[in-house]
């Protein structure tokens, strides 16, 4: 990328990509807050915002790949030192987005397991947890003769 115009274009593109990923990270933070507060309405709005932010980040990534598909090559970054810090920032933002998305995913899975366990309990089905009845038997091994909570 020794062409000065290409370097300027790449710096601009990386700056726009960083801004797009910062927006993704912001929506992931809002998603985490909505999950913690169990706010379904906010979560629905945030999911739409997140999808739009991800689409914009992906669009910019496709442009970057078209301009410099091998930007991660060390010799290329060494040849354009003013691009390297932007690239490092982009990699850091990508890592942070991935970590926050993984954290949010774990929260979603935990909440889904809780809901499923509650529904099983209400239906009178044995749960996944090792719950013991008054006779000392695991609810997994023998089940319960009690009617489902929902039928009471």
Which CATH number belongs to the domain containing residue 108 in this structure? Answer: 1.20.58.300
Is the whole model's pTM more than 0.85, yes or no?
A: no
CA distance 32 to 121: 27
From residue 29, give the alpha-carbon distance in Å to each of 25, 36, 43, 88. 6, 11, 11, 22
Report the pLDDT averaged over residues 45-67: 93
pLDDT confidence of residue 4: 73
* Structural domain includes residue 152: no
Provide the number of structural domains found in the chain.
1
134 pLDDT band (50/70/90 cuts)?
low
Q: What is the pLDDT of residues 87-123, one digit of tens each?
A: 889 999 999 999 999 999 999 898 888 888 888 888 8
Tokens 């992931």 identify what position?
28
116 CB neighbour count, 10 Å cutoff:
12
* Structural domain includes residue 96: yes
* Structural domain includes residue 38: yes
Report the pLDDT averaged over residues 62-83: 74
Give me the domain span that covers residue 35: 4-127
* Structural domain includes residue 139: no
Evaluate if residue 142 carries a pLDDT over 50.
no
* Structural domain includes residue 67: yes
Per the prediction, the chain carries an average pLDDT of 82
| Of 80 and 72, the one with more pLDDT | 80
17 pLDDT band (50/70/90 cuts)?
very high
* Structural domain includes residue 81: yes
Q: In the chain, how many H helices and how many E strands?
A: 5, 0
pLDDT confidence of residue 148: 55
Report the pLDDT averaged over residues 51-69: 91
* Structural domain includes residue 140: no
CA distance 152 to 145: 14
* Structural domain includes residue 55: yes
141 pLDDT band (50/70/90 cuts)?
very low
């Amino acid at each position: 990328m020794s062409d000065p115009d290409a370097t300027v274009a790449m710096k601009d593109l990386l700056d726009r990509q960083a801004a797009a990923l910062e927006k993704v990270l912001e929506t992931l933070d809002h998603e985490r807050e909505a999950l913690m507060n169990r706010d379904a309405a906010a979560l629905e709005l945030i999911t739409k915002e997140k999808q739009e932010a991800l689409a914009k980040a992906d669009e910019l990534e496709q442009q970057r790949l078209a301009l410099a598909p091998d930007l991660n090559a060390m010799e290329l970054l060494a040849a354009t030192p003013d691009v390297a810090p932007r690239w490092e920032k982009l990699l850091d933002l990508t890592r942070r987005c991935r970590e926050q998305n993984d954290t949010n995913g774990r929260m979603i899975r935990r909440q889904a397991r809780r809901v499923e366990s509650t529904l099983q309990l209400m239906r009178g089905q044995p749960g996944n947890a090792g719950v013991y009845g008054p006779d000392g038997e695991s609810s997994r091994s023998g089940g319960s003769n009690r009617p489902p909570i929902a039928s009471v």
